[in-house]
Amino acid sequence: MTDAGSVVVRRRLGRELRTWRERARRTLDDVAAAHIASVSKVQRIERRRTAVRPGDVRELCHLYGLAHDTTETLADLAGGDVAATPKTGDPVSLRHARILPRAPADPWDSGT
């Protein structure tokens, strides 16, 4: 995967994880208390400043109560099992291309 592709995937994954955390009504402190990641690490992941491992994604998804298919889709994104759709260039999972709902707009995303 190219550096540009990994940035696109990291942005999408961070947005998805933040959306699911908020929907589950979990705080950053809840994640830290579960010994999954520190508050600062989760912030870096959600703000798309660092990559995340598939195992960490699975643990976060478990904490958020996500279905297996959604969890595996997000883990695939973290593991690099993605392709760009021909028309839009958006990253999609090769295994579960249409599982994820569109995440709402992120106020932290400056569009750059």
Residue 94: what residue type? L
Residue 77's φ and ψ, nearest 5 degrees, are -60, -45
Distance CA 20, CA 73 (A): 13
Q: How many helices (H) and strands (E) does the chain have?
A: 5, 2
CATH 3.40.50.2300 fits 3-84, yes or no: no
Beta pairing partners, 82:
93
CB 64 within 8 A of CB 20: yes
32-77 pLDDT, tens digit each: 999 999 999 999 999 988 888 999 999 999 999 999 999 999 999 8
- Give the predicted TM-score (pTM) of the model: 0.68
What percent of the chain clears pLDDT 90, i.e. is strictly above it? 52
Tokens representing 65 are: 């109560």
Distance CA 63, CA 65 (A): 5
Give the pLDDT mean for 13-23.
Answer: 94
Dihedral (CA of 102, 92, 36, 111) sign: negative
* The length of the chain, given as a count of residues: 112
Tokens representing 102 are: 């569109």
Distance CA 60, CA 78 (A): 12
Domain boundaries, the chain: 3-84
